[in-house]
C-alpha cells in the first residue's frame, strides 16, 4: 500500500491541498474511484493519512518523508524498493534454500557485478542513486555527529554516491576537506543531487573503483552502507587497501545497521540482513563481527554508537 501510494504520488497530490475526497484524488491521478478509496483507507489505517468527513489529508510525517520533495523524502528509496527490492523479496524462500541472491529469478539475469543491475540504463541508475541519496540525507546528521571528528583534516567517503553525507560533514566541520570516491557512472550523475546555495562548502568528487584503483589520501576513510554489500573475503581486500595507505592515527568511520551480538533484539536490522540475502553477497553484522574485521587490519580502539536512526556508527583508529 505504501509503495503504490508513493508510485502514484498520492502524497504529492494531497500536500498543501487540504482534505480531498477519494473521487477527487482518483481524478487527479487517473485511477478508479473504488480502488483509490480502498488504498486511501489502507493508508489512513497505517497512520500515513488522516481521514475526516471532509476527506483525506497527509499527516506531518507523510509531508516530511513520503512526498517527493519532502525535507527528508524517502520517496526515491520507496520507488527503488517497489521496483527492485520487492521482486527480489518475493523469492525469499529460494534465497533461504540456496543461500544466494535472487536477481536471476526476479529479473531473469545474473550480473557478475553487484551494481551492474542498477546501472544498465540512465533511468534505473538515477532511481538507484535517488534511493541511496534519500537514506544518506536522512541519516547524515546523526552519522556525522556520532563522534567528534574535528581531529581529522581530510576525509574520503568511499562509495559516497551523491555526497549527501560529505556535504553534511563539511557543514559541521568547516576545516574538513571531503572527497567522494565512487564509480565513474555514479560521479557523472552527482550534479542532480547537489545542495543549492552559494555558501555550500565544496566537496570533491573523484571517480574510481575502490577494489581496483588507488584510493585518495585521507586522514579518515568513510564507509557508509558499503560493507554490508560484501562477503568477508571482499571486505578484507578493501580494509587491507585502506590500511596500506593509512598512517598511524588515521581512522575509519563505518555507518551500518549494527546487530546486537546475540542477533535477537534489533528486529529492523535483522530484517535488513534478510533483505541483503536476496539482493547481495553481503549481510548485516554485529558490533563484535565488525570489531573482528577491523582489528585484523590494525584498526583498534573500536567505538560503536547506536544512533536511534537507520544507521549506527563505528569509529576506529589505525595503530
Structural domains in the chain, CATH included, are 2-66 (1.10.10.10), 77-318 (3.40.50.150)
User: pLDDT band at residue 264, thresholds of 50, 70 and 90?
Assistant: confident
Can you give the pLDDT at residue 201?
67
Q: Place 120 in a pLDDT band, splitting at 50, 70 and 90.
A: low
Cα-Cα end-to-end distance for the chain = 50
Residue 21 CA to residue 18 CA, distance in Å, equals: 10
Residue 52's pLDDT is what? Answer: 96
Q: By C-alpha distance, which of 235, 224, 213 is closest to 282? A: 235
Q: Which residue has the cell 534505473?
A: 124
Helix, coil or strand: residue 44: helix
Record the pTM: 0.89
At 44-56, the pLDDT tens digits run 999 999 999 999 9
SS3 222: strand
Among 106, 131, 110, smallest CA distance to 225 is for 131
Q: At what angle do helices 287-295 and 232-245 cross, to 10 degrees?
A: 50
Q: State the Cα–Cα distance between residues 165 and 225, nearest whole angstrom.
A: 11
Is-catalytic flag, 137? no
User: Residue 217 and residue 220: Cα distance in Å, rounded?
Assistant: 9
Edge to edge, the sheet with strand 204-207 lists 204-207, 177-182, 154-158, 220-224, 251-256, 312-318, 299-305
| Of the candidates 132, 174, 176, 179, the residue with the CA atom closest to the CA atom of residue 153 | 176
Whether the pLDDT of residue 224 is over 70: the answer is yes
Flag whether pLDDT at 113 surpasses 60.
no
Stretch 213-221: mean pLDDT? 97
Q: Give residue 195's pLDDT band: very low, low, confident or very high (50, 70, 90).
A: confident
Question: Rounded CA gap, 38 and 21, in Å?
Answer: 12
Pick the catalytic residue from 13, 137, 167, 228. Answer: 228
Amino acid at each position: 500500500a505504501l509503495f503504490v501510494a508513493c508510485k502514484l504520488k498520492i502524497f504529492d497530490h494531497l500536500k498543501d491541498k487540504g482534505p480531498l475526497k477519494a473521487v477527487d484524488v482518483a481524478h487527479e491521478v487517473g485511477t478508479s474511484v473504488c480502488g483509490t478509496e480502498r488504498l486511501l483507507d489502507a493508508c489512513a489505517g497505517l497512520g500515513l493519512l488522516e481521514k475526516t468527513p471532509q476527506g483525506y489529508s497527509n499527516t506531518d510525517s507523510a509531508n516530511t518523508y513520503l512526498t517527493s520533495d519532502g525535507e527528508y523524502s524517502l520517496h526515491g528509496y520507496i520507488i527503488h524498493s517497489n521496483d527492485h527490492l520487492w521482486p527480489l523479496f518475493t523469492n525469499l524462500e529460494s534465497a533461504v534454500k540456496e543461500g544466494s541472491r535472487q536477481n536471476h529469478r526476479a529479473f531473469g539475469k545474473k550480473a557478475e557485478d553487484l551494481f551492474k543491475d542498477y546501472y544498465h540504463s540512465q533511468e534505473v541508475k538515477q532511481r538507484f542513486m535517488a534511493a541511496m541519496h534519500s537514506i544518506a540525507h536522512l541519516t547524515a546528521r546523526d552519522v556525522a555527529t556520532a563522534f567528534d571528528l574535528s581531529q581529522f583534516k581530510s576525509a574520503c567517503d568511499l562509495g559516497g554516491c551523491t555526497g549527501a553525507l560529505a556535504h553534511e560533514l563539511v557543514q559541521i566541520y568547516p576545516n574538513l576537506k571531503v572527497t567522494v570516491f565512487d564509480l565513474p557512472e555514479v560521479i557523472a550523475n552527482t550534479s542532480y543531487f547537489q545542495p543549492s546555495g552559494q555558501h555550500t562548502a565544496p566537496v570533491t568528487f573523484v571517480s574510481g573503483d575502490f577494489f581496483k584503483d588507488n584510493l585518495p589520501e585521507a586522514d579518515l576513510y568513510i564507509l557508509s552502507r558499503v560493507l554490508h554489500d560484501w562477503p568477508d573475503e571482499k571486505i578484507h581486500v578493501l580494509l587491507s587497501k585502506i590500511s596500506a595507505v593509512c598512517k598511524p592515527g588515521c581512522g575509519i568511520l563505518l555507518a551500518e545497521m549494527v546487530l546486537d551480538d546475540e542477533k535477537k533484539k534489533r528486529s529492523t536490522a535483522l530484517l535488513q540482513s534478510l533483505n541483503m540475502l536476496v539482493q547481495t553477497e553481503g549481510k548485516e553484522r554485529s558490533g563484535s563481527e565488525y570489531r573482528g574485521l577491523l582489528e585484523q587490519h590494525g584498526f583498534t580502539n573500536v567505538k560503536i554508537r547506536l544512533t536511534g536512526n537507520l544507521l549506527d556508527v563505528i569509529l576506529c583508529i589505525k595503530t
